[in-house]
Amino acid sequence: MELPTLNLSETPIRHEDSPLSLSAKFLDGLADIMAPTNCRHGDHYLVLSIGSRSGLVERLLADTLKARTPPGNEPRITVEGVQVETELANAPNKYLPEAALSKIPSASDVTPRLQDPDVSALMFVYPHHPDIVSQHIKGIVEAGLNIGTVVWLGPSDDWVNYEPCFAGYYGWKHVLEVYPGEKVGLDKSETLAVWQK
């Protein structure tokens, strides 16, 4: 579970264990997005990455968030992966500890972890099907969960298939912002979408 040496800079690079391009600029920006506003000492916040694959992006995000929190100055923000069992053969976990993993049977299932009161954000990195996003968004809205942020990361060409997952919920106290990859430290062929309170 040791991280590869990546030498991240402002310029995005590719790594075999991540479909998403990676850069220091991107990880810093993602950490800014995932850190809840109004954090209090002693609070625990949980980011769930649905469909986490190798866990590289999640582990890099967790390490970035941890490095920003001085010892004794919690709130504590942790990142956990939720693996889709039907996709495990193609992308087994390599970087997240077992304690930071859970599973769902398929892309049409919603993780029971969604109900955890510590969950403050969800992240989808190159999801394979819109169902996994729409089912989780629907779960948040219908249960009135206090999840303040949902991030979608993927190919710009795929965004047209995923935008409808968010479209029916614009009025539900959330704002959807979409950023081209080059603006946020990703490859120009990628997009970052943030649905946030």
In this prediction, the residues of the chain whose per-residue pLDDT falls under 50 are none
Per the CB < 8 A criterion, the answer to whether 48 and 132 are in contact is no
Residue 6 inside a domain? The answer is: no
What is the DSSP secondary-structure string of 27-45? HHHHHHHHSPTT--TT-EE
Residue 63 inside a domain? The answer is: yes
Which pLDDT score, from 0 to 100, does residue 46 have? Answer: 93
The total domain count for the chain is 1
Which pLDDT score, from 0 to 100, does residue 142 have? Answer: 87
Residue 151 inside a domain? The answer is: yes
Q: To which residue do tokens 């298939």 refer?
A: 161
Q: Residue 135 is part of a domain; what is its CATH number? A: 3.40.50.150
**Residue 31 belongs to what domain range?**
19-196
Per the CB < 8 A criterion, the answer to whether 53 and 96 are in contact is no
Continuous segment of H or E residues that includes residue 56: helix 56-68
Residue 130 inside a domain? The answer is: yes
Residue 7 inside a domain? The answer is: no
Residue 95 inside a domain? The answer is: yes
Residue 141 inside a domain? The answer is: yes
Residue 38 inside a domain? The answer is: yes
Q: What does the pLDDT look like over 29-63, one tens digit per residue?
A: 999 999 866 555 567 889 999 999 999 999 999 99
Closest by CA position to 136, among listed 67, 82, 60: 82
Which pLDDT score, from 0 to 100, does residue 197 have? Answer: 76
